[in-house]
Structure 1
Amino acid sequence: MSLLSQPVWRMIDQSALGSSFDGRQSFALDDALCESVGSGQSPAAARLWVHDRTIMLGTQDTRLPFFHDALGVLKQAGFRYLVRNSGGLAVVLDSGVLNLSLIFSERDGLLSIDEPFQAMAEFISHVLTVYGVSCVPGEVSGSYCPGRYDLSIGGRKFAGISQRRVRKGVAVQIYLCVDGSGPKRAELIRAFYKKGLRGQPTRFHYPHIEPEVMGSLEELCHRKISVSGLTETIIRSLSTFGQLASTPLSEQETRLFGSYYERMIRRNEKVFEHEQM
């Protein structure tokens, strides 16, 4: 049976919270939900979220030889930035990028690394049937934050997936470039790495970005697609895999969120202690 098939899916739609919604809150909330789902206090959960003009950096990005110079590129472009606690490298988030977290429990048995990735890829493939297109999982060379579970249409990447595990809960997170210019987003990350590397050799292989391999769903499907429209499609699609329930955070989850949020704040303060964000 597919991992997507659940008796109940708890739906949390935060896609319209606006620019005041801080990226650090998102990752803290997923950690709190992981713990709640993993303990059996919550059913499997799905969370939709948008963060405007924010660059989500990976830990390896902070090790660029000229990291602080590279941050200047993001500042000049008018973007905020933070270091996330899940895997991967730099990703562009803006008002045209919809993020989805699916959170599963390992209470009744461990999940392999690939299972949650595959479930997310399967779900997005199901969602895109509404638009009459199919996507292909597999690393797209030249994209930012490349990985085995990149999703592409016609060889151009529109989405990337990461994973986070906390106390028997597994959050698999995807960013979906819905509208706007995929190449323009990639140009910003290419400039970030160019400034951060300056041709210096490094042990870690940072991606050589080719902006033309990135695209938004709107560009790739050749039709108008909005974040709000895709949000509705995702919610309808999820309802075919289980009963939907919308419940606010419990007192316990609120306390967990506060604790994980403090960790995210301290994590980022440590990385950016000499920066004016």
Structure 2
Amino acid sequence: MLQLDSLLTQPKWRVIDQSTLGSLFEAKQSFAIDDTLCASVGKNSSPATLRSWVHHQTIVLGIQDTKLPHLQEAVSFLHSKGYHVIVRNSGGLAVVLDQDVLNLSLIFPDTEKGIDINRGYDAMVDLISYLLAEYDVTFEAREIVGSYCPGSYDLSINGKKFAGISQRRLRGGIAVQIYLCVSGSGSDRAEIIKQFYERGKGEVQTKISFPTIVPSTMASLSELLHVNLTIPTIMFSVLTTLKKLGGQLETSQLTESELFVYEENMKRMVDRNEKALGM
């Protein structure tokens, strides 16, 4: 049951669908775009925004991952497996993105009173509840030990994680982001991250506690539901849900003024990655 004060009940949703841009669309761009939209929504020059995004063969590292003692060796391993590697502009740990992983960002204005951090997470959990309602399945929001990028808002079915939620607050805006493993092998993705950490840490005892990945703790929704799900199918359900909740949907791209801010944010992302990865 949707709570009356759920952030999903917006009068208008701006929709930016970037789920079909293909392999040339880089993950660095996505994080710069979300920061741009946080600023626009935060100053009320944009309504609440849904952005969908897909990136091919990409490993997104958190800032903490760059402290691995053998980082370059670990990154070289990922490159040898055909993955692009970037460092995002926020916390968390390594995640796998590919053509079967859908990312969604819900971007809200923070109010004068301030939106409680759990309320932001709960909005995304509400959305996933709607998406899975037709499948007669129960999912949990709790940390799945052994998964990659573990957190208290890991989403799982029967102990197997299929999604993770993060949150970024910037310039009066709140971006609640989820990576949703729609299809493919969750354990194969986890195996890549397991080997990344094994190579990156080596035999060194680190002050930072990096996760020990157990590939069997992860699966895709298609695997868990025994249904052949696709990203377009999920996207249709997302848009239908927001419309049912009373929101007017308005498809959009970045405005001219937003593109100027985006270029500045993109430069910061490029500089961050050059500094962290030397590339």
Match of 1:249 among 254, 267, 274: 254
Q: State the 1:245 CA deviation.
A: 1.1
Alignment of structure 1 residues 66-215 onto 2, 5 Å: 66-215=70-219
Structure 1's consecutive aligned runs of 4 or more residues displaced over 6 angstroms after TM superposition are: none
Query: Mean Cα displacement is larger for which, 65-74 or 38-47?
Result: 65-74
Q: Secondary structure at the match of 2:244?
A: coil
Query: Mean Cα displacement is larger for which, 107-116 or 12-21?
Result: 107-116
- Per-residue CA distance 1:107-138 (angstroms, 9 max, x = gap): 44311222211111121111111333232100
* Aligned residue type for 2:273: N
* Aligned residue type for 1:260: N
Q: Normalised by the size of structure 1, how large is the TM-score?
A: 0.96
Asked if residue 258 in structure 1 is aligned to residue 263 in structure 2, the reply is yes
Cα contact 1:39–1:107 (8 A) shared by 2: no
Match of 2:38 among 20, 34, 38: 34
Q: State the 1:163 CA deviation.
A: 1.1
- Per-residue CA distance 1:198-237 (angstroms, 9 max, x = gap): 1321111111110001000000001110111111111111
Match of 1:228 among 232, 240, 247: 232
* Aligned residue type for 1:244: L
Q: State the 1:250 CA deviation.
A: 1.7
Match of 1:5 among 9, 14, 29: 9
Q: State the 1:160 CA deviation.
A: 0.5
Cα contact 2:6–2:119 (8 A) shared by 1: no
Q: Distance in 1 between matches of 2:66 and 2:91?
A: 13
Asked if residue 19 in structure 1 is aligned to residue 23 in structure 2, the reply is yes
Matched residue pairs, number? Answer: 274
Q: State the 1:33 CA deviation.
A: 0.3
Cα contact 2:52–2:102 (8 A) shared by 1: yes
* Aligned residue type for 1:212: S
Q: Distance in 2 between matches of 1:250 and 1:13?
A: 15
Matching residue of 2:275: 270
* Aligned residue type for 2:56: D
- Per-residue CA distance 1:147-173 (angstroms, 9 max, x = gap): 000000111000001111110000011
Q: Secondary structure at the match of 1:264?
A: helix
Q: Distance in 2 between matches of 1:13 and 1:134?
A: 28
Q: Distance in 1 between matches of 2:159 and 2:213?
A: 15
CA RMSD of aligned residues (A): 1.1
Q: Secondary structure at the match of 1:98?
A: strand
Query: Mean Cα displacement is larger for which, 140-149 or 125-134?
Result: 125-134
Q: Secondary structure at the match of 1:239?
A: helix
Stretches of structure 1 that go unaligned for 5 or more consecutive residues are: none
Q: Distance in 2 between matches of 1:246 and 1:81?
A: 30
Q: Normalised by the size of structure 2, how large is the TM-score?
A: 0.96
Q: State the 1:258 CA deviation.
A: 1.0
Q: State the 1:179 CA deviation.
A: 0.4
Aligned-pair identity in percent equals 50
Asked if residue 51 in structure 1 is aligned to residue 71 in structure 2, the reply is no
Cα contact 1:57–1:84 (8 A) shared by 2: yes
Cα contact 2:106–2:177 (8 A) shared by 1: yes
Q: Distance in 2 between matches of 1:131 and 1:235?
A: 18
